[in-house]
Amino acid sequence: MAEKLLEIKELKQHFNVGKPNEVKAVDGISFDIYRGETLGLVGESGCGKSTTGRSIIRLYDATSGDVFYEGENVHGKKSKKDLKKFNRKMQMIFQDPYASLNPRMKVMDIIAEGIDIHGLAKNAADRKKMVFDLLETVGLNKEHANRYPHEFSGGQRQRLGIARALAVEPDFIIADEPISALDVSIQAQVVNLLKELQEEKGLTYLFIAHDLSMVKYISDRIGVMYFGKMVELAPAEDLYNNPMHPYTQSLLSAIPLPDPNYERNRVRKSYDPAIHNYTEKDDVKMREITPGHFVQCSESEFQSLKASAAVK
Amino acid sequence: MEKILQVKDLELSFNTFGGEVKAIRGVNFDLYKGETLAIVGESGSGKSVTTKSIMRLLPDHSAEFKNGEILFGGRDLTKLSDKEMQKIRGKDISMIFQDPMTSLNPTMPIGRQITEPLLKHQKIGKEEAKKVAIDLLRLVGMPKPELRMKQYPHQFSGGQRQRIVIAIALACNPQILIADEPTTALDVTIQAQILELMKDLQKKIDTSIIFITHDLGVVANVADRVAVMYGGKIVEIGTVDEIFYNPQHPYTWGLLSSMPSLDTEEAKLYAIPGTPPDLLDPPKGDAFALRSEYALQIDMEQNPPFFKVSDTHSAATWLLHPDAPQVDPPATVIERMKKFPGSRYYEGGAI
């Protein structure tokens, strides 16, 4: 596969460290993101998928572990100049387009904020032109530049959020549930836009969501998280056709599909972490079962998964 | 089948500073005993307003019934006084809201919140109400109900809170339960549990459910019949199989095609272009015409009436008029129609 853009190694993000209410939101996860791909991250609320995204982009200081971007450590000590460079390459699109745009700023200034900080525009006319181009890129037009966020619908606001992220010409975008707050018909518009932009600009996405059918549609590979750990990571097709970890199986069996006949016959599996019967001696970690398909398992589970994969 | 609720020609407007917002523009449907009717549509289509008007939960000073009636037990709910309505609300018709975090009172133990409708509507004492409440909690699958009665909402998880809300709604064995996006705020695994719970309870107490959602997967799971709303009107209504396997209205086609199924592989998702209509100034003809590639000239001028597809299925689109040209729906919809006996794409075999 292509070159690694991002390497996440044993990333841990704990909150309230040392206090009785310590939360291990992300508890040691490792994965790579390749240039030009979309990696989907799914799991139920509270499993740490958003925290993972936020730690990668340094919205939180990681408790331990490293994030390498093109070989450089994101969490290491940085001069202001270095930080700026990173910030320009990595951008984020947030879940709630109502809360992520400043209601007192005009669209022109919201989108140009990044351009100003990084000094990308030569003069005022250049700045204006860049904003107009960005608006066009996301399917809005230049008349929108003089309006305030409240004058836009949810789908349009999410387009503004995307335009703002694109303003500094990033390589890598973390999209944290970018479509969860939108209506079904609008979701498809935004997802199509994200896909078009990826092809046009060669972007790399980390796509965080709980809507599994959308994630499958947009992602090349998908990681499944459960209680701060990644339990399975596989190419999208493979994960859906052949889920190996019992939690992934339970998650997939819970998705209702718009097909009444399928729904009448769907059998839901439930997941109880106790079934693993892990002891302290078991070395539970991510192991590669088939090429590119990783599952968190113990040595004995690894052998049996490998055996059953060979049969298929 | 016995009709338990009839909504006839309902029109309702909100008076705002911007003018009159025609939120519901002539809605007709019946609800039968023991069935689940799902109402789907995007935000602003009027699905929540329709059910809130059945419950009379809309503010009197801005919401105004313009026309039509809501018949329940021989009475027109739109004409009842507040006092009379209070006797129905929570007893004969009750409601589950979207967000269990905000629909429970954070300052009251949940036991008191469950016994409240019992004490209000039924002539029973405190001790007995408590017993009923514990039984209800057990019914909705809450472990150790005796202990949990004294706890406050913040001590429960989202799924548990929604179970409590369901327990409150079911306390007086209502004839109609209105569920307004009851699972939208929940995770898929919890959602599956709540849906199973609701279906189970429906079998036990034989209540009718109106289920509002925009998730078509959930609709396929729970509904017996489906009404699709757009721009303050119902545009198509039929059994769940008819809507999913033989849809007739271009808006229903759009909805069904814009959701990727788990085996969608096309490079691009079908997206309905544009945005929903402005109900301050609703379009003259078919409200969906401006976003529809299937719109005919007449759609711009005249509102389509309902055309019957079968005894249980009708759709408001001029495409069903005998003089209309025959058009092919989007490919994903044709795939669905191939499974439906009676559609013109039917390829044999059962669904």
Tens of pLDDT along chain B (351 residues) come to 799 999 999 999 999 888 899 999 999 999 999 999 999 988 788 888 999 999 999 988 889 999 999 999 899 999 999 999 999 999 999 999 887 778 899 999 999 999 999 999 998 999 999 999 999 999 888 889 999 999 999 998 888 899 999 999 999 989 999 999 888 877 888 888 889 989 988 988 889 999 998 889 999 999 999 999 999 999 999 999 999 999 999 999 999 988 876 666 666 778 888 878 888 888 888 999 988 889 999 998 899 999 999 999 999 999 999 999 989 998 888 888 988 888 888 887 665
**What would the two tokens of residue B160 be?**
């548990």
CA A293 to CA A178: how far, in whole Å?
26
Chain A positions touching B141 (Cβ under 8 A) are none
A152: nearest CA partner in chain B: B275
A92 confidence band (pLDDT: 50, 70, 90): very high
Give φ, ψ of A37 to 5 degrees: -100, 170
3-state secondary structure of A253: helix
Nearest CB among B244, B260, B271 relative to A217 is that of: B260
- Cβ of B43 and A185 within 8 Å? no
In this prediction, residue B253 carries a pLDDT of 94
Average pLDDT rounded to a whole number, residues A202-221? 89
Instruction: Report yes or no: B209 and B37 within 8 Å, Cβ to Cβ.
Output: yes
CA A96 to CA A179: how far, in whole Å?
9
A216 to chain B, closest Cα gap in Å: 7
In this prediction, residue A1 carries a pLDDT of 54
Instruction: Report yes or no: A251 and A224 within 8 Å, Cβ to Cβ.
Output: yes
- Cβ of B217 and A251 within 8 Å? no
B330 to chain A, closest Cα gap in Å: 15
Task: Summarize pLDDT for B230-277 with one digit per residue, the tens.
Answer: 999 999 999 999 999 999 999 999 999 888 766 666 667 788 888 788
Of A77-81, A205-209, A295-299, B201-205, give the lowest mean pLDDT range: A77-81
A195 to chain B, closest Cα gap in Å: 8
B156 to chain A, closest Cα gap in Å: 15
B216: nearest CA partner in chain A: A258
- What residues have CB less than 8 Å from A8, skipping those under 6 apart? A29, A30, A31, A32, A33, A52, A56, A65, A66, A67, A68
What is the end-to-end Cα distance of chain B in Å, rounded?
25
Give φ, ψ of B269 to 5 degrees: -80, 150
CA A208 to CA A302: how far, in whole Å?
28
3-state secondary structure of A39: strand
Task: Summarize pLDDT for A248-302 with one digit per residue, the tens.
Answer: 999 989 888 888 988 898 888 888 888 888 888 888 889 999 999 999 999 889 9
CA A260 to CA B83: how far, in whole Å?
41
b/e burial code for range A148-177 (CB count within 10 A of at least 16 → b): ebeebbbbbbbbbbbbbbbbbebbbbbbbb
Average pLDDT rounded to a whole number, residues A81-104? 88
In this prediction, residue A5 carries a pLDDT of 93
Q: Which residues of A touch B (CB under 8 A)?
A: 44-45, 153-156, 183-189, 191-192, 195, 210, 212-214, 216-217, 240, 250-251, 254-263, 266, 268, 270-271
Task: Summarize pLDDT for A13-50 with one digit per residue, the tens.
Answer: 999 888 888 888 999 999 999 999 999 999 887 888 88
Cα torsion B266, B268, B271, B273 to 10°: value is -140
When scoring A150, A183, A262 by the number of chain B Cβ atoms within 10 A, the one with the most, hence best to mutate, is A183
**What would the two tokens of residue B245 be?**
């396997």
CA A227 to CA A43: how far, in whole Å?
9
Average pLDDT rounded to a whole number, residues A56-68? 90
CA A148 to CA B25: how far, in whole Å?
31
CA B177 to CA B166: how far, in whole Å?
9
CA A128 to CA A148: how far, in whole Å?
16
Instruction: Report yes or no: A244 and A295 within 8 Å, Cβ to Cβ.
Output: yes
**What would the two tokens of residue A133 be?**
């181009």
Answer with the residue of higher pLDDT: B259 or A242.
Answer: A242
- Cβ of A268 and B196 within 8 Å? yes
What is the end-to-end Cα distance of chain A in Å, rounded?
24
pTM: 0.85
In this prediction, residue A111 carries a pLDDT of 94
When scoring A255, A259, A264, A268 by the number of chain B Cβ atoms within 10 A, the one with the most, hence best to mutate, is A259
Question: Which domains are seen in chain A, by residue range?
Answer: 4-227 (3.40.50.300)
- DSSP run (H or E) holding B68: strand B63-72
Nearest CB among B217, B258, B267 relative to A255 is that of: B217
In chain A, pLDDT over 70 holds for what percent of residues?
99
A263 to chain B, closest Cα gap in Å: 5
Instruction: Report yes or no: A255 and B188 within 8 Å, Cβ to Cβ.
Output: yes
Size of interface A-B (CB pairs under 8 A): 114
- Cβ of B262 and A191 within 8 Å? no
